[in-house]
Structure 1
């Protein structure tokens, strides 16, 4: 069975939902797992329903307008957290290790490939997750002058355990996975975690293609998709 990793985004200490990465328009999350948008309550509800880990993005940290890291640390005592705090470099990665179980290195915020190499030299792969952030079919990377295929070659060299392919344009839309993007990374299939816009049908397709893990937010929180189906 394909593993569904629940997703929440945090903003000002509550879980929020939105579409296509338009972070200024996010609203408090309504979820079948809790009566409020409190991340601790949601984590407790997810655990009761069979979740074994969860993905959390701290939108305030990513946008440099604050942070929710104490909430992250508390959630991590309930469910192991795969954490996106907008890591820029090795120093930031090291800091977040005190707050979560796995730390994401997102292409969106990474300062340089050299900093990513430093992280791989210094820390075990079990605690590292690479997020290939894609928007409108292009690699989303503020500081990297690379295209998708060039970045993929670097990934092959570093050989991470987990690679998230996140189509930010599809987040919250439930329109299904990006087939072209999956084809591009097909030779790394065993390591992939697919995210962005997944619905019930796309989960069946991805499982048939041999994908082992997915990130799922909107369709899970609405109750359309069950964690253990």
Structure 2
């Protein structure tokens, strides 16, 4: 059975929701799992309903505008957190290991391929998740000047346990997965975590393809999608 990992985006100490990565338009999250947008309350609600892992993006850290790291640590005591904190290098990855179980290495913010390799040389793979951030079918990165195909070759060399394929333009839209992107990475299928705009139909199709894990936000929090089938 495909595993649905709930998504929380944190900004100014609350969970927020938005579409297509337009972070300045995000609003407090309304979720069936808690009466408020408090991340600890939501984590408790998710845990009661069968979640055993949680993806958190700390938008303030990613944007270099404060942090929600203490909330993340509290949530991590309830559910193991897979944290996107905008890791830039080996040092920041090391720092965040004290706050969450798995730390995401995102193409959006990492400074260089060399920094990714240093992380993989030092730490066990079960604590590293690489996020392939994609916008308009191209690798999205502030620092890496390489193509999606070139980065895929580096991934094949590093051989991570888990790889998030995040179609940023799909976030919050529930329009389904990006078939072209999935086709490009089909030979890494057993490692993939698909994210960005998933709905019930697309999750069912991904399960039929053999995908083992997805990240789900909007459809789950609205109650349109069940956490456990």
Q: Measure the CA separation in 2 of the matches of 1:194 and 1:2.
A: 11
Q: Measure the CA separation in 2 of the matches of 1:121 and 1:138.
A: 27
Q: Measure the CA separation in 1 of the matches of 2:181 and 2:65.
A: 31
Q: State the match for 1:135 in structure 2.
A: 135
Q: Measure the CA separation in 1 of the matches of 2:2 and 2:225.
A: 12
The equivalences for 1:74-223 within 5 A come to: 74-223=74-223
Q: Which runs of 4+ in 1 moved over 2 A?
A: none
Q: Measure the CA separation in 1 of the matches of 2:204 and 2:116.
A: 33
Q: State the match for 2:60 in structure 1.
A: 60
Q: Measure the CA separation in 2 of the matches of 1:43 and 1:132.
A: 25
Q: Measure the CA separation in 1 of the matches of 2:192 and 2:126.
A: 14
> Could you tell me how far 1:136 is from its partner in structure 2?
1.0
> Could you tell me how far 1:132 is from its partner in structure 2?
0.1
Write the deviation string for residues 8-30 of structure 1: whole angstroms up to 9, x where unpaired: 10000000000000000000000
Structure 1 length normalisation: TM-score?
1.00
> Could you tell me how far 1:75 is from its partner in structure 2?
0.1
Contiguous gaps of at least 5 residues in structure 2: none
Structure 2 length normalisation: TM-score?
1.00
> Could you tell me how far 1:205 is from its partner in structure 2?
0.4
Q: Measure the CA separation in 2 of the matches of 1:77 and 1:207.
A: 29
> Could you tell me how far 1:123 is from its partner in structure 2?
0.4
Contiguous gaps of at least 5 residues in structure 1: none
Number of corresponding residues: 229
Q: Measure the CA separation in 2 of the matches of 1:106 and 1:144.
A: 11
Q: Measure the CA separation in 2 of the matches of 1:114 and 1:190.
A: 25
Write the deviation string for residues 98-118 of structure 1: whole angstroms up to 9, x where unpaired: 000000000000000000000
